[in-house]
Chain A
Amino acid sequence: DTEVTQTPKHLVMGMTNKKSLKCEQHMGHRAMYWYKQKAKKPPELMFVYSYEKLSINESVPSRFSPECPNSSLLNLHLHALQPEDSALYLCASSQPSGGDGYNEQFFGPGTRLTVL
């Protein structure tokens, strides 16, 4: 199984809502990532989990809260978002390769988030 799945595919939420994005992989990867991508822009790294521990947090506002319950699952909890947070949210996973960085990342199809 070489697939990263993300749910939901689309999400529309109000600024007072609480929602969660989910990501799952069964490739045995021990690094998982959240990216945010605006239209016609490159993905921007938000969070990295390595061996289920948060290793990188790119100064993301606290209204985004990541969670890694186990090595296969990654969640992104959303609360009190702003309209400018509307974007494609991508999850990825990879296998850390040690001293020379990470191996290739496998991306999910993304969740298209619209904040009203």
Chain B
Amino acid sequence: SQQGEEDPQALSIQEGENATMNCSYKTSINNLQWYRQNSGRGLVHLILIRSNEREKHSGRLRVTLDTSKKSSSLLITASRAADTASYFCATDNNNDMRFGAGTRLTVKP
């Protein structure tokens, strides 16, 4: 079963704009991870944020975590057409990984 919800379910932006995706979860976690999936293929790990961290950066990616609200956000800055994909958050609770419903991002050139 899924851990939580992601919003928006779908997001369409122009190249160069920023994209923000949100993830909410229900239980306590050890860490939260974000993954990307191109259509019908395997997932690629983007970034991991541990429960005692509040913000993390990796290149054009910025992730925040608010454990009091049980929520996380993924910001992709200066988006590119190649960023078009589905993005999933995944929570790790005592080694039990659960994925959110995902956000389908379309970046138009």
Q: Which residues of A contact B (CB under 8 A)?
A: 4, 31, 33, 41-45, 48, 50, 55-56, 88, 90, 92, 96, 99-110, 112
Please indicate the chain B residues that have their CB under 8 angstroms from the CB of A33 in the complex: 97
Q: When chains A and B are docked, how far (Å) is the Cα of A56 from the Cα of B72?
A: 26
The bracket for how many chain B residues form the interface is 20 to 34
Interface of B is mostly: strand
Q: Interface stretch among B14-22, B61-69, B75-83, B99-107? A: B99-107
Please indicate the chain B residues that have their CB under 8 angstroms from the CB of A112 in the complex: 40
Interface of A is mostly: strand
Contact (A107, B1) CB under 8 Å given A42-B88, A102-B95: no
17 contacts between A and B (CB under 8 A): A42-B102, A43-B43, A45-B96, A45-B99, A48-B95, A48-B96, A50-B95, A88-B40, A101-B30, A101-B50, A101-B93, A101-B94, A101-B95, A102-B30, A105-B33, A108-B42, A109-B42
